[in-house]
Amino acid sequence: ILHRWAHRYVTTPDGQPFPPEQLPAYRALHGERVQGVVLVVVCPPAPKAVWVSASAGPILAPDHQLLGVVADSADITPILALRPEVERHAAELDATFNAIADGLLIYDTQGTLIRTNAAAERMLRFTPEERGFPLVECLTAFQVETPDGTPVPVEDAPHIRALQGEAVS
């Protein structure tokens, strides 16, 4: 039944037939946990395609025998309708970020540099390899100093203090 249904009503996001053996429920029947598979469903008489995010997982007995499958799907069509607006806002934010004359560095919570603006790129001259360095390595390489030339210990650098929740100017 799953195969017939998939062949008749399900496609990949780019319009290709969705392989039935890749359906989350089918994969869960074979012991796999699957999350967030995007597929497109067109079931007559509904005139429109529905974009779906589907997940599934096996239900196992204590002895690991397959008892069944739990499957979940969510209609993400309304979210995808917002994509052009989100992309426009992202482009505006990107243009604003890069237009700022001050060098901006954005780090994740682990201290990995995830984004810089054009001013920071010009000032710091990061090589592509250096962009992926952990923050502590970058600060050590740059030898951060106060205006009078006193070295700033890495743990006292504004970047590190900010990552610890402190507001630093």
Which helix (H) or strand (E) segment is 101 a member of?
none
- Stretch 101-113: mean pLDDT: 86
Query: Please, are residues 30 and 60 in contact by the beta-carbon 8 Å criterion?
Result: no
Those residues whose C-beta lies under 8 Å from the C-beta of residue 13, and which sit 6 or more positions away, are 38, 39, 40, 51
Note the Cα 1 to chain centre separation in Å: 34
pLDDT at 15: 84
Strand ranges for the chain from DSSP E:
10-11, 34-41, 50-60, 66-75, 105-107, 113-116
- Stretch 89-112: mean pLDDT: 90
Distance CA 113, CA 128 (A): 11
3-state secondary structure of 38: strand
- Give this prediction's pTM: 0.52
Q: Which residue has the tokens 């209609």?
A: 75
pLDDT in tens, 128-154: 777 777 777 777 777 778 889 888 888
pLDDT at 2: 62
- Stretch 109-123: mean pLDDT: 85
pLDDT at 97: 92
- Stretch 116-131: mean pLDDT: 80
pLDDT at 29: 93
pLDDT at 3: 65
Query: Please, are residues 4 and 21 in contact by the beta-carbon 8 Å criterion?
Result: no
Q: Which amino acid is at 73?
A: S
pLDDT in tens, 82-100: 989 999 999 999 999 999 9
pLDDT in tens, 18-75: 888 899 999 999 999 999 999 988 877 767 888 999 999 999 999 999 999 999 999 9
Distance CA 99, CA 92 (A): 10
3-state secondary structure of 17: strand
Distance CA 23, CA 60 (A): 19
Residue 33, CA distances (Å) to 2, 67, 80, 163 in order? 17, 14, 25, 35
pLDDT at 7: 67
